[in-house]
């Protein structure tokens, strides 16, 4: 069904407790007048997150058996292992005898924490200007993270099924390196499974990079488990093969998700109040077909299409334009510092960092960590697709097209204004994390409001763009959480 823009803001319904105030135009105006400095303080001083930590509210972890690409966590379960051979045991003892500081450094890089985290760092180092838009970057992240999450689920399923003792538990001559992230069973190697999945997906999403280089990284991550005395060679071989098979599923998903479609320029309407190319580059609009891309949870990109923007030159339309004119004329230094902070990272990066901090604070395990990070990416991607469907259904012009004298803080992005992608990504990321970590829900929702408001402060969005985007992103977050927790995904 479609969302009516007059509906109760969905962000207020995503948490177990309601927000103190709803997300609406009046809220934006009052915050622009007086709350900019307060919001800035939340970014630079003691955070609400730290204060909330003292409340010790429980985490509401996601189900750990959920899979995105596999039909079930046991769908690719490897054959049962036999007893560890004498050669496998001797290999670990040889590594133990010849362990160097350099080897320990490599071990800690890959195995001293949850297995998915080092691969996020590898991806961040490679990303740079690789992707033409935030949509494509989040798509890449969703492919990587769902593959890694499934690799964790599949490895844990097999470990539980076979219960192969850890090397140190089977042979008291083996002493594992201190500081390894805990494991209860060795077959298959979870870290190797993640490495196989990640390296396969990265070779796909970074085609200009060396595929052999990703294989070498995967082998290093897997071999480090031997050096650490944490796995036998048969464990890592089975793990790599399992992960590679799952990674290939992600590649096949990406090859069929519709992102390779090219726009032929058709369907661009003309008329008053409709989108025109914007300075300084007057570039073609970005990804007009993105609303048709395959979604992870939503039944389709148009499932949450909002009501139309106010009719051109109507009192409601003039009020929206006047609001942007006033906000940009009255923009404060504190608001500009908030904008600068967010410009250093997009919503997906922001909520990934937020999630990683919460994961570390709560000491989440392998499955929980992978589930949280994949869910953030999936929800953000689906929110983008839903927003892009609406953008190119309505083709609403940017405020500065209607008034070139608007004091822009940053150039207009090259795509229609309504609704706002940045705000929707903020709401989806915040909504997912607020459900899992209710202790910091208030802070998360505040960050989403802030991320939405700054786009109007910049002058590149109408306030209504962001009000509606918060609704869309919040609904995507709820649909994603319900899907994972056993609800029905297409009842949105």
pLDDT at 106: 94
Specify the DSSP element, H or E, that contains 190: helix 190-205
Spatial distance between the Cα atoms of 148 and 332, rounded to a whole number of angstroms: 43
How large is the average pLDDT for residues 90-110? 95
pLDDT at 487: 59
With cut-offs at 50, 70 and 90, classify the pLDDT of residue 386: very high
Q: Is the pLDDT of residue 127 over 90?
A: no
Cβ-contact 355, 430 below 8 angstroms: no
Q: Is the pLDDT of residue 131 over 70?
A: yes
β-strand partners of 22: none
pLDDT at 23: 35
Q: 474, 449, 443: which is closest to 55 by C-alpha?
A: 443
DSSP 263: -
Q: 158, 167, 181, 123: which is closest to 242 by C-alpha?
A: 158
Task: For the chain, give percent helix, strand, coil, nearest 5.
Answer: 60, 0, 40
User: Where are the domain boundaries for CATH 1.10.606.20 in the chain?
Assistant: 10-64+269-292+296-484, 86-255
Token couple for 492: 């949105």
Which comes out higher in pLDDT, residue 202 or 36?
Answer: 202
Cβ-contact 459, 398 below 8 angstroms: no
Q: What is the DSSP string of 222-263?
A: HHHHHHTTS--HHHHHHHHHHHHHHHHHHHHHHHTSSTT---
How large is the average pLDDT for residues 2-29? 32
Token couple for 455: 């786009």
Q: Which of 330-339, 444-453, 481-490 has the lowest mean pLDDT?
A: 481-490
Cβ-contact 472, 479 below 8 angstroms: no
pLDDT at 112: 83
With cut-offs at 50, 70 and 90, classify the pLDDT of residue 47: very low
Cβ-contact 23, 450 below 8 angstroms: no
Spatial distance between the Cα atoms of 65 and 53, rounded to a whole number of angstroms: 27
How large is the average pLDDT for residues 85-100? 96
**What 3-state DSSP class applies to 271?**
coil
Q: Where does residue 77 rank: exposed (0-12), middle (13-18), buried (19+ CB within 10 A)? A: middle
CB contact set of 187 (below 8 Å; sequence gap of 6+): 78, 81, 158, 159, 162, 164, 231, 232, 234, 235, 238
pLDDT at 211: 83
Cβ-contact 3, 469 below 8 angstroms: no
Q: What is the pLDDT of residues 113-123, one digit of tens each?
A: 899 999 999 99
How large is the average pLDDT for residues 73-78? 97
Q: 402, 391, 389: which is closest to 272 by C-alpha?
A: 402
Q: Is the pLDDT of residue 313 over 90?
A: yes
Q: Is the pLDDT of residue 390 over 60?
A: yes
With cut-offs at 50, 70 and 90, classify the pLDDT of residue 1: very low
With cut-offs at 50, 70 and 90, classify the pLDDT of residue 322: very high
DSSP 396: B
CA atoms within a 13 Å half-sphere pointing along the CA-CB vector of 368: 17
CATH number 1.10.606.20 given to 10-64+269-292+296-484: yes
pLDDT at 111: 86
Q: Taking the model in full, what pTM does it have? A: 0.88
Q: What is the pLDDT of residues 218-232, one digit of tens each?
A: 999 999 999 999 999
86-255, CATH topology level? Vanadium-containing Chloroperoxidase; domain 2 (1.10.606)
Query: Which phi and psi angles does 219 have, rounded to 5°?
Result: -65, -40
pLDDT at 57: 60
pLDDT at 31: 33
Q: Is the pLDDT of residue 24 over 80?
A: no
Q: What is the pLDDT of residues 242-260, one digit of tens each?
A: 999 999 999 999 999 999 9
pLDDT at 10: 29
Centroid of chain to Cα 357? 14
Average pLDDT taken over every residue of the chain: 87
């Amino acid at each position: 069904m479609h969302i009516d823009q007059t509906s109760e803001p969905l962000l207020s319904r995503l948490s177990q407790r309601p927000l103190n105030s709803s997300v609406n135009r009046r809220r934006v105006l009052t915050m622009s007048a007086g709350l900019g400095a307060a919001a800035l303080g939340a970014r630079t001083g003691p955070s609400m997150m730290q204060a909330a930590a003292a409340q010790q509210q429980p985490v509401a972890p996601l189900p750990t058996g959920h899979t995105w690409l596999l039909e079930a966590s046991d769908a690719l379960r490897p054959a049962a292992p036999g007893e560890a051979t004498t050669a496998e045991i001797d290999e670990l003892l040889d590594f133990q005898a010849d362990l160097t500081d350099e080897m320990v450094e490599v071990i800690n890089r890959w195995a001293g924490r949850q297995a998915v985290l080092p691969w996020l760092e590898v991806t961040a180092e490679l990303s740079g200007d690789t992707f033409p838009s935030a949509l494509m970057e989040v798509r890449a992240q969703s492919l990587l993270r769902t593959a890694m999450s499934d690799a964790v689920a599949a490895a844990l399923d097999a470990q539980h099924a076979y219960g192969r003792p850890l090397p140190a538990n089977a042979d008291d001559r083996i002493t594992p390196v201190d500081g390894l992230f805990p494991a209860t069973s060795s077959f298959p190697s979870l870290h190797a499974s993640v490495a196989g999945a990640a390296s396969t997906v990265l070779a796909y999403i970074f085609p200009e990079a060396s595929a052999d280089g990703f294989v070498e990284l995967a082998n290093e991550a897997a071999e480090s488990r031997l050096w650490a005395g944490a796995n036998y060679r048969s464990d890592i071989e089975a793990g790599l093969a399992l992960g590679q098979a799952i990674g290939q599923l992600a590649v096949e998903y990406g090859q069929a998700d519709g992102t390779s479609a090219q726009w032929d320029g058709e369907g661009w309407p003309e008329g008053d109040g409709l989108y025109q190319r914007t300075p300084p580059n007057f570039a073609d609009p970005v990804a007009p077909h993105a609303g048709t891309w395959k979604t992870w949870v939503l039944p389709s990109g148009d499932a949450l299409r909002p009501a139309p923007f106010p009719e051109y030159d109507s009192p409601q339309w003039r009020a929206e334009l006047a609001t942007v004119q006033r906000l940009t004329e009255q923009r404060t230094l504190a608001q500009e510092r908030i904008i600068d902070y967010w410009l250093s990272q997009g919503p997906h990066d922001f909520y990934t960092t937020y999630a990683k901090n919460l994961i570390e604070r709560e000491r989440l395990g392998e499955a929980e960590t992978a589930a949280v990070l994949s869910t953030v990416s999936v929800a953000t991607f689906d929110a983008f697709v839903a927003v892009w469907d609406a953008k190119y259904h309505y083709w609403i012009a940017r405020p500065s097209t209607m008034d070139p004298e608007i004091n822009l803080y940053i150039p207009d992005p090259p795509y229609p204004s309504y609704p706002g992608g940045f705000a929707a990504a903020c709401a989806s990321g915040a909504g997912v994390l607020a459900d899992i970590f209710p202790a910091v829900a208030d802070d998360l929702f505040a960050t989403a409001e802030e991320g939405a408001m700054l786009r109007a402060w910049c002058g590149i969005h109408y306030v209504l763009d962001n009000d509606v985007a918060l609704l869309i992103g919040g609904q995507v977050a709820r649909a994603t959480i319900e899907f994972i927790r056993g609800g029905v995904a297409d009842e949105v």
